[in-house]
Amino acid sequence: MGVNINFGKNKKLLEQCQTLKEYAIYVKKVRTYAKSMKVEEAVDRAVTECINEGILREFLLQNRKEAVEMSIFEYDEEAVFEVVRKDEYEKGIQEGEKQFALLTERLLEAGRTQDLLRATQDQEYRKLLYKEYQIS
């Protein structure tokens, strides 16, 4: 099980570990800026701001290049994952709609309108009908 260390979450943990708290602030800045500018610019701005505000200051001063590169990579990876997740979700919705359309067609052909009405409200019954009509 993971622990959510996003800024504003798990406040007790973040209060106990200053570095973790500062990292959460840094990540929040990157995400906020990335909504309105390129990821590279967002990361660079967040790093500069954090240094000026004393957030992860020593680490960022000593490792700025690596921190920027890693942040861009992580953000891009996160963005790619989100696109894939949304795409797979849409495919699932489309597949479910196809299955239900086929079930509807078969039930109407069989004159089973009451079963169709029940299937719209009762997920377990709908699953039984999918099985009965061998729809997967």
Q: What is the pLDDT of residues 15-65, one digit of tens each?
A: 778 888 888 899 899 989 999 999 899 999 999 999 999 999 999 999 999
Residues in the chain: 136
* pLDDT at residue 19, as a whole number: 85
* pLDDT at residue 8, as a whole number: 62
Backbone angles phi, psi at 8, to 5 degrees: 95, -10
Confidence of residue 79 (pLDDT cuts 50, 70, 90): low
Residues whose CB is less than 8 angstroms from the CB of residue 25 and which lie 6 or more positions away in sequence, other chains included: 7, 50, 55
Confidence of residue 10 (pLDDT cuts 50, 70, 90): low
* Residue 115 or 2, more confident: 115
Domain residues of the chain, as ranges? 11-132
* pLDDT at residue 73, as a whole number: 79
Residues whose CB is less than 8 angstroms from the CB of residue 50 and which lie 6 or more positions away in sequence, other chains included: 22, 25, 26, 29, 56, 57, 60
pLDDT tens across 81-101, in order?
776 788 788 889 999 999 999
